[in-house]
Structure 1
Amino acid sequence: AQREKKASKDQGQATREPGSLAQLSKKDGKDLLDLFMETTQDREELLIVVLNFLIAGRDTTAQLLSWFFYEMMAHPEHLDGIRRELTEVLGDCPEEGYRLPYDRMRDIPYTFACITEALRLHPSVPKNGKRCVKDTLLVPSGPNPSNLPPVQIYKGEMAGWSDWVMARLPEVWGDDCAEYRPSRFLDSASESTEGHGGIKQYSQWQQHMFNGGPRLCLGMNLANFEALSIVAAVVPLFDIHWAKADQGQTASWPPKYVSSITHPMEPYQVEFRRRVR
């Protein structure tokens, strides 16, 4: 408890630099902090907001990257496509790897699609639920080809859903729903980095890995940028392999799941070998 108090005090002190909040907000455009500053100018409240914003996305983004590298080892053919796209967009890779600018992350749609497809199959929050505080009628919205009827939920009952299950429903993602296929997130059917033009957009209620509507994840863009930045820094410089021979695509692997936020039962070991340039 004493450590937590000291850490909080130190972090709070870090926000008390010279200059007013009004001066800090005088810049082009608005970011998430600007929106909260329109509600409060209290530094302590803003500190809590910023810490929650950063900490809440740490484990979930790390889990996304873990599953991304798992899928790259299972489907290594996509690594060359990522490397080719990064070179086409960002130029020759420097010795320390690419440092992806924030305003370029939409310019590498093939890489974005590979990450998004990993997140679709392995959502960082695989299940969720809410307790109903009053009698509610849930009415299907958007396309409803199955003509699903409204669902009555009564006060005190739980409403739950699983994005992990939804990703494996043919009626949601097609007959190949269980396959890792990044091209489903490109606006061209081609697996090549040429000619696709950009990321294919789906409804928030289909592409539901970041929730949707008023509960859309506030850190979605930050999480995507963090994941893309790591991939851009690592993939061009390293070959990626299973660290243990028995971790290939055999009966003992794919992974096993447990009931948790991020789902995997055990870690896997990866070997990164520096590429000869």
Structure 2
Amino acid sequence: MSVSVLSPTRFLGSISGLLQVASLLALVLLLLKAAQLYLLRQWLLKALREFPSPPSHWLFGHNQEFQTDQELQQLQKWVEKFPCACPRWLWGSRVTVIIYDPDYMKVVLARTDPKDHGSYRFLSPWIGYGLLLLNGQTWFQHRKMLTPAFHSDILKTYVGLMADSVQVMLDKWEELISQDSHLEIFEHISLMTLDTIMKCAFSQQSSIQMDRKSQSQSYIQAIRDVKSLFYSRVRNFFYQNDIIYWLTPDGLRSKRACQIAHQHTDQVIKLRKAHLQDEEDLEEVRRKRKLDFLDILLFARMKNESSLTDKDMRAEVDTFMFGGHDTTASGISWTLYALATHPEHQQRCRKEIQSLLGDGASITWDHLDQMPYTTMCIKEALRLYPPVPTVGRELSKPITFPDGRSLPRGVHVSLSFYALHHNPKVWPNPEVFDPSRFAPGSDSHSHAFLPFSGGSRNCIGKHFAMKELKVAVALTLLRFELAADPLQAPIPVPKIVLDSKNGIHLKLRKLL
């Protein structure tokens, strides 16, 4: 019996043949993909013919015009040149129509289009599919389940907790500053708002503002990293593929940052579960008081009152842990900066607060509705510096706008609240800080001011955020006089929330 043995030459020839076939197949697939992208681009060009925009590169789109430090300034130029909306090409066949007109906003926000999957999916390894990323019936079920956590009866009990966290931060500021010294406030305020959300939404007392080695400090840095990495990934053509991205240094950094964030939220859930050891404890909590955010999730999970899974629960905790502290930190930081750069308005707010609170030893729910001028200043700061600069939608059906222009199904739109708030056709002299815009009886379009988005998907925690803003601003102005650092003007950057590239540096003077 003879055995045929493949010679080395024939073996190498077979390998070479396979490589040639594989190369040919790869080339064919590449050409098919290129043809698909070309046809998609041509379809988009035709679909957007009613919406002019500056010339763009066929591959890199408008990215050259939108450098990191100048993105918002460039956007403002487009707002002044192109009415209502303007397409922005990110690359080849990826385009989003930026909307900054209140009538256009109203039409889009009245619909139920899903979030823009092309960009928002990059957030899923971090915050999972909670309220921010969910769509359709599942989103509706989660929203309905969590809405009671933000009832006014519950928010009333949080004012004291908010004030405690703010006072800890202000005490720390007194220790850190010498007379008329400067301080970067964004990081401190982020810790304060995280401290607040831990107390209010997750029933956890902590010393995270004072403990430099706490897990929460690492969490804050992880959030800062993942936001920056998300911002750069959305704008990088080569990072769109998940396999490629997770092999890059940025992808590895993002994975590590997500792990740190998840460790923090897992610990929060674990501690609360341990406190509610069994169903009897949970029933006792339910009888004694209304459930907070995490209690609602745990109760739904433990009692099988919904289809909520452990994965769903962590996604909601991750989502609200981020949304409940970072957006509010942005709002407070930029509001204090706005008041620091406008001392006449700052002083008027301070007098109003002093007449209401005296030394500020205590602040209550009722006080928060008795500071009209301070509220006007907060709203004007939110107009100039909206905490969430933009949100995205993918049109699920064709849309026609009031001026007769239309977009087909499948087009991505970006609702730019920053551009809306800086649109001179909506807000005359938009760069001027003018609280009288929000004086009682002032007339404005229902969708001209959207710091918390609008429609059915508006921010579920908007009332919580406004109350915390008022508490923080009031107590800060009672203890410090604020002035901007002329050598370190902040550079606004839209990284999910409105950050500052170089921080927000203020000059603080303790009031006697």
Q: Percent identity?
A: 26
In the TM superposition, residue 135 of structure 1 has moved relative to its aligned partner by 2.8
2:352 alignment partner, one of 85, 88, 108: 85
Helix, strand or coil for the counterpart of 1:14?
Answer: helix
Task: Describe the shift of the 1:138–1:69 C-alpha distance in structure 2 as closer, same or farther (beyond 3 A).
Answer: same
Distance 2:413 2:471 in 1: 36
Q: Is the Cα–Cα contact under 8 Å of residues 399 and 409 in structure 2 kept in the other structure?
A: no
Could you tell me which residue of structure 1 aligns to residue 270 of structure 2? Answer: 13
In the TM superposition, residue 202 of structure 1 has moved relative to its aligned partner by 5.7
Q: Is the Cα–Cα contact under 8 Å of residues 265 and 317 in structure 2 kept in the other structure?
A: no
Q: Is the Cα–Cα contact under 8 Å of residues 130 and 160 in structure 1 kept in the other structure?
A: yes
Distance 1:237 1:265 in 2: 27
Could you tell me which residue of structure 2 aligns to residue 225 of structure 1? Answer: 467
Helix, strand or coil for the counterpart of 1:15?
Answer: helix
Could you tell me which residue of structure 1 aligns to residue 106 of structure 2? Answer: none
* Greater Cα shift, 119-128 or 45-54: 45-54
* Greater Cα shift, 200-209 or 177-186: 200-209
Report the AA paired with residue 13 of structure 1: K
Helix, strand or coil for the counterpart of 1:171?
Answer: coil
In the TM superposition, residue 78 of structure 1 has moved relative to its aligned partner by 1.4
2:476 alignment partner, one of 217, 224, 234: 234
In the TM superposition, residue 57 of structure 1 has moved relative to its aligned partner by 2.9
Number of equivalences? 244
Q: Which has the higher helix share?
A: 2
Task: Describe the shift of the 1:27–1:137 C-alpha distance in structure 2 as closer, same or farther (beyond 3 A).
Answer: farther
Helix, strand or coil for the counterpart of 2:487?
Answer: helix
Task: Describe the shift of the 1:51–1:128 C-alpha distance in structure 2 as closer, same or farther (beyond 3 A).
Answer: closer
Q: Is the Cα–Cα contact under 8 Å of residues 417 and 450 in structure 2 kept in the other structure?
A: yes
1:125 matched to 2:366:
no
Task: Describe the shift of the 1:35–1:171 C-alpha distance in structure 2 as closer, same or farther (beyond 3 A).
Answer: farther
TM-score normalised to the size of structure 2?
0.42
Task: Give unpaired runs (5+ residues) of structure 1.
Answer: 141-147, 189-199, 248-252
Distance 1:28 1:203 in 2: 40
Q: Is the Cα–Cα contact under 8 Å of residues 343 and 483 in structure 2 kept in the other structure?
A: no
1:274 matched to 2:500:
no
Task: Describe the shift of the 1:3–1:162 C-alpha distance in structure 2 as closer, same or farther (beyond 3 A).
Answer: closer
In the TM superposition, residue 71 of structure 1 has moved relative to its aligned partner by 1.3
1:73 matched to 2:73:
no
1:181 alignment partner, one of 434, 443, 460: 434
Distance 2:416 2:471 in 1: 28
In the TM superposition, residue 3 of structure 1 has moved relative to its aligned partner by 5.8
In the TM superposition, residue 236 of structure 1 has moved relative to its aligned partner by 0.9
In the TM superposition, residue 122 of structure 1 has moved relative to its aligned partner by 1.0
1:102 alignment partner, one of 365, 376, 381: 365
TM-score normalised to the size of structure 1?
0.73
Could you tell me which residue of structure 2 aligns to residue 24 of structure 1? Answer: 285
Helix, strand or coil for the counterpart of 2:469?
Answer: helix
In the TM superposition, residue 263 of structure 1 has moved relative to its aligned partner by 5.0
Could you tell me which residue of structure 1 aligns to residue 375 of structure 2? Answer: 112
Distance 2:269 2:290 in 1: 26
In the TM superposition, residue 54 of structure 1 has moved relative to its aligned partner by 3.3
Could you tell me which residue of structure 2 aligns to residue 137 of structure 1? Answer: 399
Helix, strand or coil for the counterpart of 1:235?
Answer: helix
Root-mean-square deviation (Å):
3.3
Q: Is the Cα–Cα contact under 8 Å of residues 391 and 415 in structure 2 kept in the other structure?
A: yes
Q: Is the Cα–Cα contact under 8 Å of residues 15 and 43 in structure 1 kept in the other structure?
A: no
1:74-96 CA distances to partner (integer Å, 9 max, x unpaired)?
Answer: 21011222122212222x114xx
Could you tell me which residue of structure 1 aligns to residue 452 of structure 2? Answer: 210
Structure with bigger gyration radius: 2
Helix, strand or coil for the counterpart of 1:159?
Answer: strand
Helix, strand or coil for the counterpart of 2:431?
Answer: coil
Task: Give unpaired runs (5+ residues) of structure 2.
Answer: 1-255
Distance 1:111 1:65 in 2: 13
Q: Is the Cα–Cα contact under 8 Å of residues 380 and 434 in structure 2 kept in the other structure?
A: yes
1:167 alignment partner, one of 415, 421, 437: 421
Task: Describe the shift of the 1:259–1:93 C-alpha distance in structure 2 as closer, same or farther (beyond 3 A).
Answer: closer
In the TM superposition, residue 106 of structure 1 has moved relative to its aligned partner by 1.9
Query: What does residue range 145-160 of structure 1 map to in structure 2 within 5 Å?
Result: 148-149=403-404, 151-160=405-414
Distance 2:331 2:510 in 1: 23
In the TM superposition, residue 204 of structure 1 has moved relative to its aligned partner by 4.8
* Greater Cα shift, 28-37 or 101-110: 28-37
Q: Is the Cα–Cα contact under 8 Å of residues 377 and 435 in structure 2 kept in the other structure?
A: yes
Q: Is the Cα–Cα contact under 8 Å of residues 120 and 209 in structure 1 kept in the other structure?
A: yes
Q: Is the Cα–Cα contact under 8 Å of residues 239 and 275 in structure 1 kept in the other structure?
A: yes
Distance 1:264 1:223 in 2: 20
Helix, strand or coil for the counterpart of 1:105?
Answer: helix
- Structure number with higher relative contact order (C-alpha < 8 Å, ≥ 6 residues apart): 2
